[in-house]
Structure 1
């Protein structure tokens, strides 16, 4: 299934509600604080801007934000919150679409680089970020760490979350580094669960760093979360900050 088929009208309408935990102040405030700091007074470009979960509060902090978004229905939801003058958006693929201008920060949050299903596309995403950045600019990626240690021999699935009303089941194809996330929502009064599937290509941190090097970046920092906790072997995710070389003086 193509990404533009996944992020359709139904998913876009439900997105903010289904992702409500990620809109919570304790989750969103550290994200916006850190991105505002990394923008360093310049403009920011969000790849896969979606419904504007991060872009809207970041723009409200005074950081000029532009977006790239593949899904017109997701963009329609963003437009209910911010108009084109406030947050301009280019419709296209984050691995190839071009936004006008130059930026001090490009960012890609909530595991979204894994929506690109080949290594080549993920490398091109880094290169696209590099093309948009001013010398010394930063590319920030928030990404989960593959949970392969949870897979016993012969097991192909892990339970990512199991909360009242929601279960996340991930099925792994370790040969291709692919994961299909199965999201089950159990709504009050409903006889059946609502299911959404999304395919991903998982990336190890070391592989991500090599992709960055191929695009001219160096790893500046890596933490376990937006609050700056230390990244360890047990961290389930990371926030990695890559920096492109500053301009050389004449």
Structure 2
């Protein structure tokens, strides 16, 4: 996990938040917090890869006691600029193995975070770790994108996922090993601009929903529900992401 620690460094942490926009927009956070609060059922929640508190802070503001696990010291430092340890306690460590306590009603990870674990063993261990944190009958919520292999042109291993002024997102696939590297290219949209392009790369291991369900079963969970998004829209063959709710056995 050393490489992941380097990826989420001070510069990334300081520029991660986009208040009111993108994944920080109210129409994104509102439904997310609403679903998680309902699933917590008045109990405590733990967020795996809590980051800078994008979801944890509004969830705590909504009355759900939240703890977290986060690998990156820099992301924790950014979170601490907003809330203290008493408000949202955080354990620094790997979400596949670090312990933040037990008897939680809800464990969750959002925004494709489980794909940051780049081996199948680590992803299986993440489910097992979620089970260790939960009380019997608790639930584990995973938000994850659906691999877009159908978008790959014949003979090519990459796709352009986003093309905006000043920003390109290019995903390159290694389908043999179920890996994808996201290339984030940021540049001056003005052709006469002098700023050099900056490239950041993040590796992932993509997971099909069916494989995720098997990981859950190995850890003692069963799939309770799956939606295309936090608004509860139906998950279909055309969905590009999903929110999956896994329930831990009550015995």
- TM tier, shorter chain? over 0.9
Q: Alignment partner of 1:183: what SS?
A: strand
Shift >4 Å, 4+ stretches: 187-190
Rounded to whole Å, the distance in 2 between the matches of 1:187 and 1:6 is: 23
- Return 5+ residue gaps in structure 2 as ranges: none
Structural mapping, 1:4-153, within 5 Å: 4-17=5-18, 20-153=21-154
Q: CA deviation at 1:191?
A: 2.5
Deviation at 1:10, TM superposition (A): 1.0
Using a 3 Å threshold, how does the CA distance of structure 1 residues 168 and 100 change in structure 2: closer, same or farther? same
Corresponding residue number in structure 2 for 1:224: 228
For 1:20 and 1:180, locate their aligned partners in 2 and report how far apart those are by CA, in whole Å.
Answer: 25
TM-score when scaled to structure 2?
Answer: 0.95
> Paired residue for 1:197, among 195, 198, 201?
201
What root-mean-square deviation, in Å, do the aligned CA atoms of Structure 1 and Structure 2 show?
A: 1.5
Moved more, 187-196 or 133-142: 187-196
Give 3-state SS (helix, strand or coil) of 2:15's partner: helix
Change in Cα spacing, 1:19 to 1:213, as seen in structure 2 (3 Å) is farther
2:177 alignment partner, SS class: coil
The 3-state SS of whatever aligns with 2:78 is helix
Change (3 A) 1:241 1:191: same
Q: How many residues of Structure 1 are paired with residues of Structure 2 in the alignment?
A: 247
Q: 1:181 to 1:65 in 2, by over 3 A?
A: same
5+ residue gaps, structure 1:
none
How much does 1:190 deviate? 4.9
Cα deviations by residue, 1:182-217 (Å, 9 ceiling, x for unpaired): 112234655222221100000000000000000000
| Residue equivalent to 2:214 | 210
Once residues 175 and 121 of structure 2 are traced to their aligned partners in structure 1, the CA distance between those partners, rounded to angstroms, is 17
What's the offset of the Cα at 1:18? 9.8
How far is 1:100 from its partner? 2.0
1:20 CA displacement:
4.1
